[in-house]
Structure formats: C-alpha cells, structure tokens
Amino acid sequence: MTVGVLRMELALLEARTLKEKRSVVRSFVERLRNRFNVAVTEVGHTDSPKRCQLGITTVNTESRAVHSLFDKIVDLSRVTGGLTLLDYEREIF
C-alpha cells in the first residue's frame, strides 16, 4: 500500500476578504474531492485572504498511480482561475 501526501502553497491574488478566499478555496477543494477522490483540507494561512496551503492525501496500491494523480492535481491548480500555484511538495510512503 502506498500513501501519498501533497502540500500545495497557493496565492489568491484577487481575494480581498476571507469570505472571497473561502469561496474560491471551497470550490477548488470540492472539485478535487469529486474528480480525484482525495482527502483535502486547508492546513496553513487560514487567516490570510491572499494565501492558502492545502494538504491532499490519497492511498493506492502503486506509487506510480499516486505520482500520476498528484501530477493531474498540480496541473489542475495551474489552470484554475483565481488561484496561482506558488509551490508544492509531495511525499510518498
């Protein structure tokens, strides 16, 4: 069994308030959960309207499948309006 953890640092340049940030982040998190069947939560910058850190995790039988899934998630974050991917880090156990 392979467990993967992906941490993504995102900027929300257009958000001026926490309410606007929550709207964009909530939409992106739901899209990730529905499309990729992963667990997602905001793990950092919870009080900043311009930054967000997400923790994403999944379990699979093959590490290659986890890497592929994380590549798709990173690609989706790059094309999602309202978000700018600043950095990401993945760990595979």
pLDDT tens digit sequence for 10-26: 999 999 999 999 999 99
Q: Residue 1, Cβ neighbours under 10 Å: how many?
A: 7
Indicate the pTM of the whole model: 0.93
Q: What is the mean pLDDT of residues 56-71?
A: 97
What is the three-class DSSP state of 11?
strand
Residue 32: band (very low, low, confident or very high) from pLDDT cuts 50, 70, 90: very high
The beta strands (E) that lie in the chain are given as 2-11, 39-44, 51-60, 84-92
- CATH number corresponding to 2-92: 3.30.70.1120
Residue 66: band (very low, low, confident or very high) from pLDDT cuts 50, 70, 90: very high
